[in-house]
Chain A
């Protein structure tokens, strides 16, 4: 119990050191910390919740297997997101190779958390807006989508995005710039801002 309490206060990097020594409790804590952000990050990239969970599971499996490759001086979050992003890219390549790749714009509806206090019509409206937001993100080219998702939803700095995507700061800035410009134009065209008021 004491160990669990002290583990919870540990930083991600300290937990990774424990995982390196085979501490399963530390690994579970890392999974609990990151499962939601990682699944949501992948959900935004893939547009498919089941696929997002599958890739997230594989990512944590690699994290467990390759824990020894983590440098104690490094920062855990970008390092792990790089693994996740590479797995997503690998999955995409596999699908392209098998001629099964489609731009996944899934219409699946995940029950939205805030819906309890909403009337049925508000719920429908909320679902509609959520679906449109998903489509806005999904409409971006793959590279812009990754940069915009990391920037807006994961709140990564430009330097961290550079680490994850393996490109220069200038490239990251321009991908975010053009990605957001494109989303903004669509938002105006779809009149989404007035709906949101």
Chain B
């Protein structure tokens, strides 16, 4: 075995982690090679020195503090569970009515919001009246006075041929001109 190989395996040799044959080879080498023998002795002394390192005791209240942490964590978990249960209960209550009822509610809310939006958008007074009096897009298209508007809301209940037809459109007023 070469010196470099022996030196690399010295730690395993000291810790008796080598096979019988490798162990014997290194032992024989150490008897002949002073350089490797010195390296081996130095390594053992380093081990011995490191093993004299202090082993301080943990604080006396280590376990007590740990118990406190566990208790805190468990009470936090319980309150989180309670909160989650409460939220689920509330959501269940609010959705207890039938699906149709809920959909009607949602649609009405959306319509109201859109109507309010339409009212607060900065149309000029005249144009606002015109826009809300005439739900027909074509008329609005011909109106050249409308200059500044951002959205339009168009709901018509009959198409151009006079047949019943529901049309609902929201968009930028730029689409109109």
- Do A and B share a complex? yes
Chain A residues near B54 (CB-CB < 8 A): 110, 112-113, 130
Query: Is A134 interfacial (CB 8 A cutoff)?
Result: yes
**Complex CA distance for A180 and B49, rounded to whole angstroms:** 12
Which DSSP category, helix, strand, loop or mixed, fits chain B's interface? helix
Q: Are B55 and A36 in contact (CB under 8 A)?
A: yes
Please indicate the chain A residues that have their CB under 8 angstroms from the CB of B11 in the complex. 173, 176-177, 180
A173 to B9, CA, bound (A): 9
B47 A61 Cβ-Cβ under 8 A: no
Q: Indicate if the CB atoms of B63 and A44 lie closer than 8 Å.
A: no
> Interface segment, A8-16, A76-84, A95-103, A188-196?
A188-196
Tell me which residues from 3 to 57 in chain A have a Cβ below 8 Å from any Cβ of chain B: 28, 31-32, 35-36, 39-40, 43-44, 49, 53, 56-57
In the bound complex, CA of A57 to CA of B68 (Å): 11
The reply to whether the CB of A70 lies closer than 8 angstroms to some CB of chain B is: no
Question: Any chain A CB within 8 A of the CB of B158?
Answer: no
> In the complex, A130→B50 CA distance in Å?
9
- Of the listed stretches B38-46, B111-119, B132-140, chain A binds B38-46
CB pair A152–B51 under 8 Å, yes or no, is yes
Q: How far is the CA of A129 from the CA of B52 in the complex (A)?
A: 10
Please name the 8 residue pairs, one residue from A and one from B, whose CB atoms are nearest each other, closest first. Answer: A110-B56, A39-B58, A184-B46, A133-B53, A35-B58, A193-B45, A112-B54, A130-B54
Cβ–Cβ contact B69 & A57, under 8 A = yes
**Alpha-carbon gap, A87 to B20, bound state (A):** 39
Separation of A2 and B63 alpha carbons in the complex (Å): 22
Query: Residue B73 at the A interface, CB < 8 A?
Result: yes
Cβ 8 A contact of B58, one of A56, A113, A133, A153? A56
Contact with A along B2-31 (1 / 0, CB 8 A): 000000100110000100000000000000
Cβ < 8 Å to B, chain A residues 158-174: 158, 173
Instruction: Collect the chain A residues with CB atoms within 8 Å of residue B58's CB.
Output: 35-36, 39, 53, 56
Question: How many residue-residue contacts, CB under 8 A, span A and B?
Answer: 87
For B, the interface residue count at a CB cutoff of 8 angstroms equals 27
**A60 contacts the other chain (Cβ, under 8 Å)?**
yes
B77's closest neighbor in chain A, by CB? A65
Decide yes or no: A184 and B42 within 8 Å by CB, A43-B56, A130-B53 being known contacts. Answer: yes
In angstroms, Cα B73 to Cα A39, docked, is 22
Q: In the assembly, what is the distance between CA of A157 and CA of B17, in Å?
A: 9
A16 to B15, CA, bound (A): 30
Q: Is B166 an interface residue (CB 8 A)?
A: no
**Contacts of B62-85 to chain A: CB distance below 8 A:** 62-63, 65-66, 69-70, 73
A34 to B31, CA, bound (A): 42
Shortest Cβ gap from B54 to chain A (Å): 5
> Which of chain A's residues has its CB closest to B53's CB?
A133
Please tell me if A105 contacts chain B, counting CB pairs below 8 Å. no
Pick from B8, B47, B49, B57: contact of A192, CB under 8 Å: B49
Alpha-carbon separation in the docked complex, A49 to B118 (Å): 67
Q: How far is the CB of B159 from chain A (nearest CB, A)?
A: 63
Within 8 A of B (CB), among A84-127: 110-113
A35–B17 Cα gap in the complex (Å)? 29
Given contacts A35-B58, A57-B65, A113-B56, 16 further A-B contacts (CB under 8 A): A28-B63, A32-B63, A43-B56, A56-B62, A65-B73, A112-B54, A129-B52, A130-B53, A133-B49, A137-B50, A177-B8, A183-B46, A187-B49, A188-B42, A193-B46, A196-B52
